[in-house]
Amino acid sequence: MTDLKQLISSEPISIVKAKAQSMNLETYVIGGYVRDQLIGRPSKDIDFVCVGNGISLAREVAKELGKAATFTVFKTYGTASIHWEGHELEFVGARKESYRSESRNPEVSEGTLEEDQNRRDFTINAMAISLNKGSEGDLIDPFEGQKDLERLLIRTPLDPVVTFSDDPLRMMRAIRFSSQLGFDIDADSFDALMSQKERLAIVSQERISDELNKIILSPKPSYGFKLLFHSGILETIFPEMYQLQGVKKVGRHAHKDNFYHTLEVVDNISKHTDDLWLRWAAILHDIAKPATQRYNEKVGWTFHGHEDMGAKWVPKIFKRMKLPLNEKMKYVQKLVKLHLRPIALVKDHVSDSAIRRLLFDAGDDIEDLMTLCNADITSKNPEKVRKYMANFKKVQAKMQEVEANDHVRNFQPPISGEEILATYDIEPSKVIAEIKSKIKESILEGKIPNDHTQAKKLMFKIGSQMQLPLRK
């Protein structure tokens, strides 16, 4: 077990303790840092609560830490923060809160430590360590948060219905902590979570998406998504993913449950990457399957074109969820669109032309695409998995060979539009794009190598066929 007295003797906590005692200001370390220390989880985010003015303490601590410290005051919230050597120190005065039904922003007034602990979201986040003379290192744990850590349990300090109704974002946080820590949500809290889920309507989409991203980045994201699904929250915040769930049957023909398949894929990929957007690509790779689902008596269930439709949905989903509509979104969109291509190469004879086109289309994201495709193999048949993995290795070896010879990843056609204009007596027009396209296709098909000399010969040949006049 963590020695709390030793903990508060280490920097920067020891500096805060010394300043608080010199100012005769009742002060505690509180919240997530205490929780993480008790379970041996690394953390450099430390929250301090003062019974009095937390900003004045923060200002004195910042002076002591010197030029290496960055000090910021948030007057609206009555808080201050210090960034120092990778640590984030947050200071706030102890407070009590009251809520209005139409808002999750409370009315705040000064309070005692007990009142401050009462307002905390979960018992495991309500523990405090004293920095005061006579009680240094004592754990103040009025709601048995330490026992809940041992029981691996998420539980609210007070009535969970009131806790979640007051601040509905706490429902997302409950599921996020469960997913990050591998804890259960206690029965009363989960019942309250289900009953209060409609209250999420008063929470901003940005805050909901921030918690969702933290669930996606947890060690096993499927755990959090299952809690979202069974609580009914997923249907509200992410209806496209909710609609993946279910199996349809016609006679003996049934397709796999695409919701649980997606969770397997996300868990698989999470073993190999902490990249949020690659994990998002795993979540969205089959998102359009319900919309493209068809039954054919000869082949059974099909989902033709789900990769193209899914790629078209990505911007809409990102916009609604207030996720970035930039290169991150385009990256996810590309991987969703291409995720079947390597699998098709595994099934068919691998031609150099097909490899070139995949390398060209995927560009620098080819390794991430292959990671996604490997994660997408969720068959329960070990022999089938072994065969797919062996074939994927052949495809990857072929990619390395083709790339070494042809350099087509992200390649630009060796002949530019400017060179075509300088060669032929023509105005800028679609003709230039047509010539460049024919050169590109010839390179991808392996008809000519990817070099300027051969491309220029082909340009003259194409120009002659099109009867283009040379510049004098």
- What is the pLDDT, as a whole number, of residue 38? 94
CA distance 37 to 50: 20
- What is the pLDDT, as a whole number, of residue 251? 72
Which stretches of the chain score pLDDT less than 70? 1-2, 97-109, 347-349
430-444 vs 352-362: helix axis angle to the nearest 10?
Answer: 130
- The CATH number for 152-237, chosen from 3.40.50.1860, 1.10.110.30, 3.10.20.30, 1.10.1200.10, is 1.10.110.30
Pair of tokens at residue 434: 């047509």
Q: Which CATH architecture has domain 4-150?
A: 2-Layer Sandwich (3.30)
- What is the pLDDT, as a whole number, of residue 247? 85
- The per-residue pLDDT of the chain, averaged, comes to 90
Backbone angles phi, psi at 268, to 5 degrees: -60, -45
- What is the pLDDT, as a whole number, of residue 137? 93
- What is the pLDDT, as a whole number, of residue 145? 97
Spatial contact of 40 and 149, defined as CB atoms under 8 Å apart? no
Would residue 42 be called left, alpha or beta, if left means φ above 0 and alpha means ψ between -120 and 50 degrees? beta
Which residues are CB-contacts of 366 (< 8 A; sequence separation ≥ 6)?
Answer: 358, 359, 399, 409
Which residues are CB-contacts of 427 (< 8 A; sequence separation ≥ 6)?
Answer: none
Spatial contact of 40 and 50, defined as CB atoms under 8 Å apart? no
Same fold across 4-150 and 152-237: no
Q: What is the pLDDT of residues 236-260, one digit of tens each?
A: 999 999 999 988 887 777 778 999 9
Residue extents of the structural domains in the chain:
4-150, 152-237, 417-465
Q: What is the pLDDT of residues 96-147, one digit of tens each?
A: 765 566 665 655 667 889 999 998 999 999 999 999 999 999 999 999 999 9
- What is the pLDDT, as a whole number, of residue 387? 81
